[in-house]
Amino acid sequence: MSLRDLKWADGFRQISRLRTIRPLITYHSQALRWLHAKRPVPLGYWLRCRSILGCFSHSPDPLSLAATPARTIDASLPVKDLADFLRDDLITGWTLDGETITFLWNLLQQEQPRVIIECGSGLSTLVFARGFETYGFGSSNSCSLVSLEQNLWVKKAVETRLQACGLEHHVSVMHSRVSRARGEYQLDPNTLRAHLGSEKADWVVIDGPAGPDGCRASTLPLLAQFCRPGARWFLDDAYRDGELEVLNNWRGLTGVRVEGIYPIGKGLGVGVVSDPEHVSVSVQAHPGAPSRGHAAA
């Protein structure tokens, strides 16, 4: 048998294994939602799961098999007000999923953050702006939502949508370039500070930048200085290997607490910026994170 034939055979075995473990991962995710209710599952548990899955498949991002598939707005959003508001929008693999949007919408009402920094503009921008408009607990001194976006065309499209909905006064969409080497935000702190004024963020919602594995590693350390002590942060796509590694590295940051991952949507990492003044901008690798195609240590 030739080397090419061996590669094809290995590929078919990988596909067969993925088909076998997909329902198991899905049932596992559903069980976690029932057992943990409204609590995040600790990161260490997810890293062990990733390590076990690595024994059965070398394919990247096996935990992503538990992600909720894209559905229509009506099917994804049980909150009628949101479903009506977003009826002309599409939930795709590039946007926050319906489960996560619903979760954040409900939490928004409970915690009533005055200021949110968002990484990656889109549906979530509209949802947060709608929340500030509906419930009126945003900042009175500056924009309640500062949204960082790497693509100018997305920035313009979101701004147009906000204006059409009469929500533009709640939001400042800020263009932030990314580095060519690692795809990280090249953020000017003075520009962001000007957008925030004297305010500090209560929430940081990270669904960007879009790029290679690890491109979001520096995002939270970079934004921590703009947070109040106790600010809550969220990281979407937490089932992916790259985000698992980012979360694992953030466990080693002084002034940051990683609480775990909510088993909803594409995985929602969550934690707290406990001491913004002592968070280091540089991120050191933390042992135990998965790498592409390999199990965690």
Give whole-number Cα distances, 163 to 143, 147, 179, in Å. Answer: 14, 15, 30
Across the strands, what pairs with 233? 204, 271
CB 221 within 8 A of CB 110: no
Beta strand segments in the chain, E: 116-119, 145-149, 171-175, 201-206, 227-235, 256-262, 268-273
What local confidence, expressed as pLDDT, does residue 241 receive? Answer: 96
pLDDT confidence of 26, banded at 50, 70, 90?
Answer: confident
**pLDDT at residue 5 greater than cutoff 70:** no
pLDDT confidence of 286, banded at 50, 70, 90?
Answer: low
Determine which of 20-29, 63-72, 237-246 has the lowest per-residue pLDDT on average: 63-72
d(CA 254, CA 60): 30
d(CA 64, CA 61): 5
- 3-state class (DSSP) for residue 218: coil
8-state DSSP, 238 = T
Q: How large is the average pLDDT for residues 15-33? A: 71
Q: How large is the average pLDDT for residues 31-60? A: 86
pLDDT confidence of 135, banded at 50, 70, 90?
Answer: confident
Task: Pinpoint the alpha helices (H) of 54-204.
Answer: 73-76, 80-85, 98-111, 123-135, 152-165, 189-196
Q: What is the pLDDT of residues 145-162, one digit of tens each?
A: 999 999 999 999 999 999
What is this structure's pTM? 0.85
**pLDDT at residue 71 greater than cutoff 60:** no
d(CA 202, CA 217): 20
Tokens of 65: 């098999």
Determine which of 84-98, 168-182, 237-251 has the lowest per-residue pLDDT on average: 84-98
Q: How large is the average pLDDT for residues 199-226? A: 96
pLDDT confidence of 212, banded at 50, 70, 90?
Answer: very high
- Residue of 205, 286, 216, 218 lying closest to 252 (CA atoms): 286
What local confidence, expressed as pLDDT, does residue 86 receive? Answer: 80
Q: What share of the chain has pLDDT > 90, as a percent?
A: 59
Give the mean pLDDT of the chain.
Answer: 84
Identify which has the larger pLDDT, 256 or 72. 256
Q: How large is the average pLDDT for residues 120-137? A: 91
**pLDDT at residue 94 greater than cutoff 90:** no
**pLDDT at residue 89 greater than cutoff 60:** yes
Cis peptide before 209 (omega within 30 of 0): yes
Q: How large is the average pLDDT for residues 43-57? A: 90
